[in-house]
Chain A
């Protein structure tokens, strides 16, 4: 019998070590696995490399993980957003490294990492500071830059519903990076608002097949960054 359920967010993230590379799903607050991130803060792992599109807002979720001093490096496409102050302050103080990646290149690097593609060439970024130091080749008459596949030790994502085999469906634009990140880590952890028995989901409608998922945590009423910030929340 396959059952990927674990009892709690704390149990799900318990073995993430210092120095781990962690992919975290979400675009803004949509799809941000707040409960898993907060469990990671409680757990205490440090010197993490975080791969995520943004850096969080307010003093909760991703921003709280950064503020707790647990992150040494961020790989990301858009580290500043309205309401995002923690990352900018740490970056200006030289306390966190940034690898800036065009958003499509970030998505494709993660997809490639998960698909066993070591690297690829793309025209995105050619002639810009983000291509400096990278190999450039002319392919079909067009300059392209070499970008490497990206993998991580752990992935934390949020689904709307998952089954006991780890199959996942998402909610609207909360899907964003989750399907690629699920495929690109040694251990993928999903928090889902609903968890059902295998066989209850329509196989035609599953977005992330369970082969990419290792642990499923039931988080019935996930918190949202905007609601927490509106309430003036600060984690921990």
Chain B
């Protein structure tokens, strides 16, 4: 049974909400899909925290440079107008509030905007954080892109995170396969449902209370 948006459709939906000219950092993995769906006529500038502004797509086979890579250590290209810089400068962009948007994956998001996305805290896990804590602390807006539940069906949107935090009260908006959800002072507020997804369906798969924005309320 396939209910809701595919990964590509989540990326496409999220991409619609990024204004032209934004400086954007896409997290490694699913968030990288967003770059494929930027609406025509909009130009975004991609930041990769290892030291490049103006990152372009993967190179053609055999055309890559092992020392032109992204934060996921995969080879990339550079767009016209790109710049290289060191790590202190790169994180000055992040921590100094110069980037407009960070799109990150999640293990859990809490109703107050707490994010857990770097460690399950398991005893045998090798902890690794990279730039995630810097991104959530410094970038102007933080979007999370994730499946609504884990592979085992556990909610990822919860009252309180049980995994180690990446940051406190840092998430602005969440894009899942089922819905678009804002983090508000009153908790999770659903602003849009994927086609054929009902309010009850989302509620059953969410670990915290949901409110509904005015337009969705009118539909009930």
Residues of A within 8 A of B (CB): 27-31, 53, 77-82, 87-88, 91-92, 98, 100-108, 110-111, 122-130, 170-180, 207, 224, 226-227
Contacts and interface: CB of A to CB of B under 8 A. Distances in A.
Contacts of B126: 79-80, 87-88, 91-92
Given A28-B69, A103-B91, A176-B50, A77 B131 contact: yes
Contacts of A29: 66-67, 69, 73
Nearest to B131: A103
Interface residues of B, number: 39
Contacts, number: 146
Contacts of B201: none
Interface in B128-164: 128-134, 137-138, 164
Given A53-B87, A128-B133, A177-B86, 19 more contacts: A28-B69, A30-B68, A77-B129, A77-B130, A88-B126, A92-B126, A102-B130, A102-B131, A104-B91, A104-B94, A104-B95, A107-B86, A124-B138, A127-B114, A130-B133, A173-B50, A173-B68, A175-B85, A180-B88
Contacts of A171: 67
A30 B64 CA distance: 13
Contacts of B124: 92
B58 to A, nearest CB: 14
A2 B166 CA distance: 48
Contacts of B52: 172-173
B72 to A, nearest CB: 9
Contacts of A78: 128-130
A172 B51 CA distance: 8
A111 B167 CA distance: 23
B33 interface: no
Q: Which are the 4 A-B pairs with shortest beta-carbon distances?
A: A104-B91, A104-B134, A107-B87, A28-B73
Interface of B: prevailing SS: loop
Interface string B76-97: 0000000011111011001100
Contact of A178 (B86, B128, B165): B86
A226 B133 contact: no
B42 interface: no
A171 B134 CA distance: 25
A87 to B, nearest CB: 7
Contact of B50 (A27, A82, A92, A125): A27
Contacts of B68: 30, 172-173
A53 B49 CA distance: 12
A124 B137 contact: yes
A105 B164 CA distance: 18
Interface string B93-134: 011000000000000000000100001000010111111111
A127 B165 contact: yes
Interface string B150-191: 000000000000001111100000000000000000000000
